[in-house]
Structure 1
């Protein structure tokens, strides 16, 4: 399946798992024989849209919810949103630099380790 439906599914799945969309999109693109560096760049670009629409969805679904911490708009914490987005913008150029400088084999191992850590975290959270 291709097109917006696929992006919507990866966004929904990443939101349910509490992970970034790139964690799903990079392996998918790589499975589709897209060069790993290009897969990372493409998923980063798509990740911005996933984050925007995910944020809007979490705000809308939690607007009527009571008992949320101050500074929250729906299920989004404004201080956390500012901290995470500013840190991401600050370090994104460094990530791009590293992804082009690190040898491809090492890059694959680093990404595999990240996915393994996420999987362990999800399993531990289920126990």
Structure 2
């Protein structure tokens, strides 16, 4: 079935809706170091059916488009946090090889798996992270230092794999992992913001050149919606610095609990979508 383009009156609704999505994604990218995908993927999952996009490609399109929009947002967020002296650049560099490898595997699975499986992965990981952040204190940790050697690369690969599957930056899973391994919350948020670049760039390249599907909507390349990127990315870039400013001005326990509540709500909505 061919996807029907929306009429002009519907575009008048779509454009501000995507702009608001970009603003929310950018603000949360700066606030939580998440890259914005944790907002973009659920929103696109709701909007795409209204545009006639078939279920077989809906979640793939949402994840791939989210990955593409994360590149500029993650760049701005990481630069702002680095300017404030909170980003651990040495750790980011040391994790890069494993994270990029895990990201490429995850992006390949985005192309290969069914949309329902991607939705359930998204919801399950978001819920587990929300539980961790919601029921542990600011100082709770498994150990005081980040592992080195093969263990460090394995952690990086795992973060890249899961994040690419979900279409998100490294913050959603990176922040709780970093805090569990001894890093203060605000430093974890800042450092995880840079993970978004290590994840978004290789993953976007892979899904961009993936063979298309007959059910893909117009103005798509690979599994990426060019319209979605064009509408979301600019507003996301504008809002990111404000999120960074707020992140550095509120108590860390408030930041941690707010992140948990947001993820729990998102997970519940994604489970509902996938199972009904």
Residue 152 of structure 2 corresponds to residue 2 of structure 1: yes
* SS at structure 1 position matched to 2:209: helix
In 2, the alpha carbon distance for the partners of 1:123 and 1:67 equals 24
TM-fit CA distance, 1:11: 2.7
Highest CA radius of gyration, 1 or 2?
Answer: 2
Q: Equivalent residue for 2:118?
A: none
* Corresponding residue number in structure 2 for 1:12: 161
Higher relative contact order at CA 8 Å, sep ≥6: structure 1 or structure 2? Answer: 2
Partner residue, 1:29: 178
Partner of residue 232 from structure 2, selected from 84, 90, 98: 84
**How many Å apart are 1:105 and its aligned residue?**
1.7
- The secondary structure found in structure 2 opposite 1:101 is coil
Is 1:113 the counterpart of 2:261 in the alignment? yes
Q: For residues 6 and 71 of structure 1, do their structure 2 counterparts lie closer, same or farther at Cα, with a shift above 3 Å needed?
A: farther
- Structure 2 contact 168–196 (Cα < 8 Å) conserved: no
User: Which runs of 5 or more residues in structure 1 are unaligned?
Assistant: none
CA distance in 1, matches of 2:244, 2:225: 28
Instruction: Give the Å deviation of 1:88.
Output: 2.4
Deviation for aligned residue 1:18: 4.2
- The answer to whether the 8 Å contact 1:58/1:75 transfers is yes
Aligned residue pairs, count? 125
The answer for the alignment partner of 1:71 in structure 2 is: 219
Superposition RMSD in Å:
1.9
Give 3-state SS (helix, strand or coil) of 2:182's partner: coil
